Every structure is written in C-alpha cells, then in structure tokens.
Chains A and B, each alone.
Chain A
Amino acid sequence: MAQQPIELILFRQLATNLAVPVFLVDERGDLVFLNEAAGDLLGIRFDDVDQLPFERWATMFRPRTPEGELMPAETLPLSLAVLERRPAHDTISLTGADGVDRTIEVTAFPLEGGGGRLIGAVAMFWERETP
C-alpha cells in the first residue's frame, strides 16, 4: 500500500487514543481507519475489515433517516465532507454488523492540507440517547 499522507497518520494516531467514535476516509472516500469506539458502535473491528471502499461502507450499515427512509450514500455527512469538501451533520439510524439498530449523531468535516489539497475526511459520532 502507498504511503499515507502525514495528516492521516497523525489523525489516526489521535483517533486511536480517543473514546469518541472516529471514522477516517481518504480522498476517494474509502475507509482507511476506524477506532475501537467506532467499531463498538458499528459492530465491527478494524482489524477484521481493514480498508473498505466507499461504495461498501456507505451502504453496509443500511443508513436511514430517523423516520426509516433509506439514505443514498452520497447524502451521508461523511460523503458530503469528502465529495463536496464541506462540514456536515445529521442524525442517522443504522444497523450494525452485529445486527443491532442504533441511532447516531454524526459530524463530518474534510481534511485539507497545504495548498488546499484534499487528504480525506473525518466523521465523529455519538449514539443518540433514547428519550
């Protein structure tokens, strides 16, 4: 695999030590890392999936609006962050790889390096508490 940009390396190092779930994609939108907290919420371990192409991760958890309507891949906050290079936030219901349904709040933002070079994007998310 080609050398990762230093900004992704540093963000992965940070994410590894965070209790907040973090999902990291490269400039193509492919998953390059998720931390343990994100793995717990999504029912997967990064060691088991390694890298996932955009088309795979954006659909494998069956993302839905809280009302139950399926969300197209390109409308997810992380997709908007990497495709449109802007921050995005949304509430999403999903089904983890462990079969558990959860509703999460997602905030995503693009990572840009020197000269405005797109490096990837980050999503941080939290499980929404049931009222």
Chain B
Amino acid sequence: MKVTFWGTRGSIASAGPATARYGGNTASVQVMGRDGTCVVLDAGTGIRSLGYALEDAVDRIDILLSHLHMDHIQGLGFFGPLFAPKVEVHIWGPPSATLDLRARLTRYFSPPLFPVQLRDLPSRVELHNAPDVPTAIGGLLVTSATVIHPGPTVGYRIEEDGASVAYLPDHEPALGPIGLPDDPAWISGFELASEVSLLVHDAQYFPDERATRVGWGHSSTVEVAAFARRARVGRVACFHHDPAHDDATIDRLVTEVGEAAPGITVIGAREGETLEI
C-alpha cells in the first residue's frame, strides 16, 4: 500500500514560498493498493494535481470524504477524472441526520458557487454513505466511524495484508473537561487508529493556540501525541497544517509531537511525498 500526500494544509490553501516544503494545498491523500485500487481521502485543492497524475491510469476511483467543509471538497470540481466519461467515480461521505450526500454536495456543485451541476458531470458518479462496517473497495478494506469535529465527520481506516493506515484529518478527541478519557472505548477515533502502521492525524495547533480555539475541532501537539501513544500506532504523519504556519514553524511543531511521543516515528506530512506502508 502506498500513501501519497497531494494536499496537507488545513482550513484554506496557503501557497507561497513560506509553505513550499510542506505544501499549500488543502487535504487530499491517495492510497494505492498493490492491485492498483485507487482510493482518495478527501478532495481539497490537492486533488487537482492528482487528477493530472492519474490521467488514464484508472477506470474506477473511490473518493472518501471525511466531511464536507470547504477545505475537504473544494478541489472536487477541478478533479479531471470527474469529467472523463469512461471513469467510474464513487464518492463516499459521512451520513447526516437531515440531508443525504447528494443534496449536501449539490450545494457546492451548483451556481453561484460552481458552474457545473453534479448531475451534469460526464463521468459515472455514484454516492454512498461512508461504510461503518469493514467494506472491500478493490483490494483495500475500508472502515469509517464518526469522530469529534463540528458537523457530520468521519475518520477512515484502510487495511491491506496486515498494513494499515488511519486517516483522521480533523479531529478533537480531547474536547471537553476531561481530556482523553482513561477508557479507550470513550476516546473518539480510537478503534480506527488502534495499532495502525500509519496514523495521518490532525496536528494543527501548538497547545497555546488550541487554548483559544477549543471546540473548533482540531488537535494540538499534546493531543496528537497522547492519542498516538494510546492507540499504539507505528508512525504518525502530522496533518492539516495551519495556514498561518510556515515550514519552519511546522518543523518545530513536528519536533514537539515527537518529543511527546517517544518510540513513535513522527513526521510532518509533505505535499508530494509517498510513504510505503
């Protein structure tokens, strides 16, 4: 299984020389199975470049949306395969108690926000609720679960032959007065992340930044380190970089997470980087 980061930024794209190393595009991560199965986690602005890279390489793509905030769907309208008639695109997203996924995506895929209607896309688009039981997508086994973040939001776990990746790009497991509970059954996202080879996790803030943003749905260095340790993960990729953080600041943040999570390899997710799991 190969994991490639096409967009690592949170909240809003932040291109420029100060963010060139970790990248300025918003969330989009490609997971390629050994049999060629192509799954894309989120459709932030990073997915546009992935579309060019794929060209005619696949005839089916599964896009797994964690939630429908703009930084996770904004690139969808610029994803080339959606405009290719021969491609089958399956879009999976968190269930909502009120509107189905089509109705919610149509808010973006319609004027005045976007000129093309969802129903007019040339590709064969199918929409699904994110699977809450392990579900095979090609050679990959995918599970999702709702996690703490404002609005319907899920995290994903993807497995293949003993290798596993958990993707929790926007996650505030320590929300509330008790921080991370002692009992793992009460920790948001724990089951998804438990003992995964690679945890791609929200690490947007330093502790002093989160102190004034409690309830915004994101983690600080302290929480991502504690969560990774409790879940006994192999490796952590700090993700959803704050748009105000330049490369040097993210270096410092990643170091801080590493110091708080001894024994776990901690990296900062970098746009264009591929990890072999």
Contacts and interface: CB of A to CB of B under 8 A. Distances in A.
Contact of A9 (B96, B97, B152, B186): B186
Interface stretch (A11-19, A37-45, A76-84): A11-19
B64 to A, nearest CB: 17
Nearest to A15: B176
B148 A17 contact: no
A8 B157 CA distance: 21
B191 A13 contact: no
Contact of A114 (B96, B147, B177, B188): B96
A16 B176 contact: yes
Contact of A10 (B148, B184, B190): B148
Contacts of A115: 95, 97
Question: What interface size band does chain A fall in?
Answer: 10 to 19
A3 B188 CA distance: 8
Contacts of A14: 176
A53 interface: no
Contact of A5 (B96, B146, B178, B187): B146
A4 interface: yes
Given A9-B186, A12-B186, A114-B152, A3 B176 contact: no
B147 A13 contact: no
Given A1-B183, A17-B177, A9 B188 contact: yes
B84 interface: no
Given A6-B148, A114-B97, A1 B185 contact: yes
B226 interface: no
B144 to A, nearest CB: 11
B176 A13 contact: yes
Interface string B145-173: 11110001000000000000000000000
A13 B145 contact: no
Nearest to A6: B146
A9 B175 CA distance: 10
Nearest to A1: B185
Given A113-B97, A114-B152, A3 B178 contact: no
A2 interface: yes
B190 A3 contact: yes
A6 B155 CA distance: 12
A11 to B, nearest CB: 10
Given A17-B177, A115-B95, A3 B152 contact: no
B148 A9 contact: yes
Contacts of A9: 148, 186-188
Nearest to B191: A3
Nearest to A5: B146
A3 B191 CA distance: 6
Contacts of A10: 148, 175
B176 A6 contact: no
A4 B185 contact: yes
Which of A9, A13, A16, A17 counts the most chain B CB atoms within 10 A? Answer: A9
A16 B95 CA distance: 27
B99 to A, nearest CB: 11
A11 B7 CA distance: 33
Given A2-B185, A6-B188, A114 B95 contact: yes
Interface of A: 1-7, 9-10, 12-14, 16-17, 112-115
Closest 4 CB pairs of A and B: A13-B176, A3-B191, A114-B95, A1-B185
Given A2-B191, A3-B184, A6-B146, 12 more contacts: A3-B145, A3-B191, A5-B146, A6-B145, A9-B148, A10-B148, A16-B177, A112-B97, A113-B146, A114-B95, A114-B152, A115-B97
Interface of B: 95-97, 145-148, 152, 175-178, 183-188, 190-191
5 contacts: A2-B191, A6-B145, A6-B146, A14-B176, A16-B177
